[in-house]
Structure 1
Amino acid sequence: MKKDLQTLEGRMRDSEEANALQPVSLDLRKTVPWIIFVLFFAVLNETVFVVSTPSIAAELALKPSEVSLVLTSFMIIFGTGSIVYGKLSDMYSLKKMVMIGLLIYGGGSLLGFLAHRYYPAVIAARILQGIGGSAIPTLLMIMITRYFKSRDRGKMFGIVGSTVALSEGMGPVIGGFISERLHWSFLFIIPLFTLLSIPFFLKTLPEEQPRGGKADFIGAVLFVAATALLILYLTDSRWPYLVISLILYGGFAVHIRRVEEPFIELSMLTNGRWVRGLLSAIALFGTMAGLLFMVPQMLSQVHLMTAGAIGWVMFPGAISLVFFGVYGGTLVDRKGYSRVYYIGLALYISSLLLLSILAGAAPWLLSAVLVAAYVGFSFLKTSLATGVSQTLTEQEAGVGMGMLNLVSFLSEAAGMALVGKMLADGVLEIPLIPIITASSAHSYSNLFFSFAIIIALGAVLYFSAFRRSR
């Protein structure tokens, strides 16, 4: 997700004292089922399209680089939108923001279903889904902090984390089943179920008076536009995209120096350990997103598997996040985040090297190796988030962890775009590993090996920042 709710949890807890003044308390038994329901269908949209990208590419005659935009367009908006909604919730009624998010999410989903034969409309629908969907996890976390009693919040944060992991794990299976039995366009119908929650939230959430404040919308628009054009350049290699992107980034840099509450705080860049932690996160989330995009392409092209079968190959690894995500957090508390990082690093790099060697092997064997990759990623993500949080003061925590969340999403989008571009151009179709006999598997094998190198470089940055930490 490709998304890190621990960062949102930290931000919510930082504001707990201010929100304690709210007199409203929600009924746990009535509210929890609806929170689980809405969150499940919101987060599902992050992974449900992954295994269907080969089918989408075949039907719309798209290159891997082009079909990657079906995933990356959603992630870019989802990542930046989570920060924007967090700020807006401090200015406007939470109830209205939830309603707006759900309606935009549903509208984008309906557009995607009705206009699925037109590629630009599919991308527009995914952008709208990102705009609306990004409201849901953010606002639900704020809702927990603002309206639940302090003794219930830890339990609720745990429920949220488990729901997110379950949704991400079920996404490939549900997406593959629907694509194979019906059609990939029906994946756009799934988010419409969230609209069923509107009557409940309208009745339950209190009316709030606008509290005022400032949101750096200009900065957000400049940053999102610049990033989107950079992703387009990585996808299509057209120089105008890069030039305009750099111009917009320049305008963004000038703008945030002139506003009181900028979208991104430049002062944070003086924190060297925090910056190195973010760079390490870029390597981690970028490679994992590239892997998630690449594996379905490989299983389709090399092993000629259907979307439904691909979903089941990926399911054991994805669902392992439900169990090992919680276990990794417990292990961090007991052994320290650096030790957990070492364990995750060994698992993740080993699995990438094995995938490189076994790219043409039996799908069941690849599925087993993917479990190790998912577990390693889960440990790395948990320990990295914990380590980065230790570099921040109490005043910097909200901005610093929010930036980690944003960087994670953008890295995922860039990782998928780069992998799509490299597969489309065939730049790695070189027989480097003798054991790989199928020529169609060379690119995938070499990409897995490249990912292992990138993770090793990210680990060097991590060690330089946290080697003396617990």
Structure 2
Amino acid sequence: MRGVARARVGFTTNCARVTAADENGPVRTGTSIGLRSDRGPVLLAAMLATALIAIDSTIISTAVPSIVADIGGFTEFPWLFSCYLLAQAVTVPVYGKLADLFGRRPVLLIGIGVFLVGSVLCGLAWAMPVLIAARVVQGLGAGAIQPMAVTIVGDLYTTAERARVQGYIASVWAMSSVVGPTLGGLLSEYASWRWIFLINVPLCLITAALVVKKFAERVQRGRPRIDVRGSVLLTAGLTLALLAILEGGQAWAWLSPAGIAITGGAVVLLTVFVLVERKAAEPVLPLWVFKRRLLVVSGIIAVGAGAIWLGLSSYVPTYVQVVLGHGPLVAGLAVGALLLGWPAAASQSGRIFLRFGFRVCVVLGTSLAVIGSAFLLTLDEETPVLLVAAFCAFIGLGMGFTVAPTVIASQSSVGWSERGVVTAANMFLRSTGSAVGVAVFGAIANATVGSRISEVAGTAVDPDLLSVAMVRIAAVMVLLAVVMLVAATRIPARIVEQPRTPDGV
């Protein structure tokens, strides 16, 4: 792991550079932020934290039958996924701002603690409503863990190093996405479904211990003014907005009283939020995030990437099993090709953007995503599963050259005091893309398959109809990839890198 060496960095929030340090940590005077970390262990902690979130996003999928058989609640089990996603997504922007005010370390430790408590509560749940509530607690912790891991990487590593390190993070996410469902099935079958949550306890403790011992951060900024009104309005508005996207057309009709009330409430709350943020001293989500071209372009790309990722990981396994007739293992390996291509490209993207610039790298990546998505339009009942895997791997390569470089470019364009907000905003938009993907792709599948489900023998899905649905979903992916490509061409040709720390270190 070249370049992952011990780093001692001292910096201040004013113009005076602080350089005095000893074995007990940096010596500071005045308003300052001190950081002295062993980068290797801190990176390991970031990777473990990422694994916690990635595994928990998928591990429950194969355990649902065991959970329902034990505590009941079959009709409510979809909320185990939705409530976790909601709680995680809506809190990410708030945690990002808190990290810029109080430092990354306390926010990450709070997130780990909340996630640990949620995991224990999930493991002890005796009824489905209790388990759903515990999943909300888990999501609240996950909302802090995910952006902090990426933000800390942005603080500790230079632009040249970040591509390789982001490749490590992407590899962990990829492996966890494959390991999660498998581990969930094994624990449910040979132990108890409760262990899919309780296994998080030692992982949380190890991660927290690494952060406490190896990531030394000290923030002295007087008394920051927390934007309480903005935080409440943003969280409530985003909750209603994502709830409308996730459940609209399924739990309730779009034009039903409930659908109109939830959507209208989201619009009102977010409108009031914008008005409040204009006057806030320390806005939780500064409006300049939506005015800087690079950040806006990166956000558009993040939304598209989240939607395409969701579409592939959700529908390719079903297509392989129902249409092509293979088992779950083969289906998992097919979509796993996406997860292999992504980190491989991400780890090598630095060679491209350091030599040719971020715009060239991201245009290359989005072009590969367009081509790979177009390949999916050829899918039918006779497509070899190896070809499906090759298409997924091709899209994965495109995503690897796209997602990590846009995050790195965004982080490089801002200083320490803005990096938490920028990173969190990008991740929130990726989550929003996934939520929108759930709604759009689900609507396409239901319109194609559900319209004639009564004509199909029994309750099985007609493979021919599902094949058509998959091609239609692929057409939307092509459109999304094209939008990402157009956005990529708007990335500034030259990005002025800002100091990783306030004093230019």
The question of a shared fold, defined as TM-score above 0.5 by the shorter chain, is answered with yes
Would you say how many aligned residue pairs link Structure 1 and Structure 2? 442
- Residue 37 and residue 408 in structure 1: after superposition, are their counterparts in 2 closer, same or farther (change >3 A)? closer
**Partner residue, 1:226:** 237
**Partner residue, 1:100:** 110
Alignment of 1:71-220 (within 5 A): 71=81, 73-92=83-102, 96-115=106-125, 118=128, 120-140=129-149, 157=162, 160-183=165-188, 186-197=195-206, 198-199=208-209, 201-202=211-212, 211=221, 212-220=223-231
**Partner residue, 1:358:** 379
- Residue 155 and residue 26 in structure 1: after superposition, are their counterparts in 2 closer, same or farther (change >3 A)? farther
SS, match of residue 25 in structure 1 = strand
Q: What's the C-alpha RMSD, in Å, of the aligned pairs?
A: 4.2
The answer to whether the aligner puts 1:410 opposite 2:427 as a matched pair is no
Larger radius of gyration: 2
Contact map agreement 2:160 2:354 (CA 8 A) in 1? no
* Partners of 2:187 and 2:372 in 1: CA distance: 34
- Residue 137 and residue 176 in structure 1: after superposition, are their counterparts in 2 closer, same or farther (change >3 A)? closer
SS, match of residue 391 in structure 2 = helix
* Partners of 2:10 and 2:229 in 1: CA distance: 25
Aligned partner of 1:42: which letter? L
User: Please, which of 386, 401, 413 is the counterpart of residue 379 of structure 1?
Assistant: 401
Contact map agreement 2:45 2:210 (CA 8 A) in 1? no
- Residue 241 and residue 423 in structure 1: after superposition, are their counterparts in 2 closer, same or farther (change >3 A)? farther
* Partners of 1:186 and 1:220 in 2: CA distance: 34
* Partners of 2:270 and 2:421 in 1: CA distance: 20
Aligned partner of 2:174: which letter? G
- Residue 174 and residue 123 in structure 1: after superposition, are their counterparts in 2 closer, same or farther (change >3 A)? same
Deviation at 1:190, TM superposition (A): 4.2
Amino-acid identity (%):
18
Deviation at 1:160, TM superposition (A): 4.6
Contact map agreement 1:277 1:388 (CA 8 A) in 2? yes
Larger strand percent: 2
* Partners of 2:418 and 2:116 in 1: CA distance: 35
- Residue 108 and residue 292 in structure 1: after superposition, are their counterparts in 2 closer, same or farther (change >3 A)? same
* Partners of 1:315 and 1:116 in 2: CA distance: 34
Contact map agreement 1:180 1:307 (CA 8 A) in 2? no
Contact map agreement 1:236 1:421 (CA 8 A) in 2? no
SS, match of residue 312 in structure 1 = helix
* Partners of 2:397 and 2:384 in 1: CA distance: 21
Q: Which runs of 5+ in 1 are unaligned?
A: 1-13, 431-435
User: Please, which of 272, 275, 284 is the counterpart of residue 254 of structure 1?
Assistant: 275
Deviation at 1:325, TM superposition (A): 0.5
Moved more, 245-254 or 159-168: 159-168
Aligned partner of 2:239: which letter? A
**Partner residue, 1:442:** 468
Contact map agreement 2:294 2:492 (CA 8 A) in 1? no
**Partner residue, 1:454:** 480
* Partners of 1:145 and 1:457 in 2: CA distance: 27
User: Please, which of 366, 369, 385 is the counterpart of residue 345 of structure 1?
Assistant: 366
SS, match of residue 134 in structure 1 = helix
Aligned partner of 2:186: which letter? R
Aligned partner of 1:446: which letter? R
Contact map agreement 1:77 1:127 (CA 8 A) in 2? yes
The answer to whether the aligner puts 1:313 opposite 2:334 as a matched pair is yes
Contact map agreement 1:76 1:224 (CA 8 A) in 2? no
Measured against aligned partners, the alpha-carbon deviations of 1:402-425 in whole angstroms (never above 9, x if no partner) come to 533332232223223432344345
**Partner residue, 1:7:** none
Moved more, 40-49 or 259-268: 40-49
Aligned partner of 1:170: which letter? M
Q: Which runs of 5+ in 2 are unaligned?
A: 1-8, 19-24, 27-34, 249-258, 453-461, 496-505
* TM-score normalised by length of structure 1: 0.76
Deviation at 1:93, TM superposition (A): 7.4
**Partner residue, 1:325:** 346
